[in-house]
Amino acid sequence: MSETLPATVDAPAAAPPAEQRGTVAELVAWADSARAAFTIAESLARTSFVPEAFRGKAHEITAAILTGNEMGLSPMAAVRAFDLIKGTPAMRANAMRALIQSHGHAIWEEETTATRAVVCGRRAGEAEVHRSEWTIERAREAQLTGKDNWKRQPTAMLLARATSEACRLTASDVLHGVPYSAEELTDGTASATRTVRRRNKSAVEEPSNPEPEVADALIGDEAEAATEADVLLWTVNHEDGTGDA
């Protein structure tokens, strides 16, 4: 007498961990944002309303928009905030300052001359003051003073250096993956060396001038981030059959 065996029932596939599901959902949402940003970028790239470095470069504009979005900037503010320096996006020093001020932190000038610039910063809710000082001697040691922009406008260049350094010292978390200013990358000597002097709140008198809005500032992410955006957009376009041949 033959024995009838029960039918084999496959066990249901285990659901992916909640953390993995969340990661996938975030990637899908990011891909949707990238598509939307690319649509905007294609239109902007054809206009003269964007900086010259971005004209005709929809993918670079997309990377700027996505990076700016992570920092809380609108698409147009993001395009104005970033410069492309030798293929690497960077924010201008005044845009870094405006962005950090928009998060409630304080950045102010203590002194600015043709030979010395001092910029201070303080995080919201903290008494500690971060102070960056750039002198013409320091610029000379860094071999900057022989460059054309330093010969023409030393005051502005010293201020830009001190500002970007003070911004990093005060709120590097706000700057995300854009640690160096456009002025630093233009010089080709972006350096991690810093002059840090800290004083109590009572020792530094902060000006009462209102903080500028980010949208009113002369508003690229690191090259790696731009590359990731390009790869994703290329994949999306070719999967949809809309990419270039």
**Model confidence over 46-64: pLDDT tens digits?**
999 998 889 999 999 999 9
Please tell me the predicted confidence (pLDDT) of residue 161. Answer: 96
Q: What average pLDDT does the chain have? A: 78
Which carries the bigger pLDDT value, residue 34 or residue 237? 34
pLDDT at 120 over 80: yes
Q: Which amino acid is at 235?
A: T
> How far is 47 from 72, CA to CA, in rounded Å?
24
The residue among 163, 168, 182, 160 whose CA lies nearest residue 83 is 182
Please tell me the predicted confidence (pLDDT) of residue 195. Answer: 42
Tell me the mean pLDDT in the region 189-201. 47
Please tell me the predicted confidence (pLDDT) of residue 46. Answer: 94
Which carries the bigger pLDDT value, residue 41 or residue 189? 41
User: Distances from the Cα of 40 to the Cαs of 57, 72, 138, 232, 233, in angstroms?
Assistant: 12, 17, 43, 16, 13
Contact between residue 182 and residue 163 where contact means Cβ atoms under 8 Å apart: no
> How far is 118 from 86, CA to CA, in rounded Å?
28
What pTM value is reported for the model? 0.64
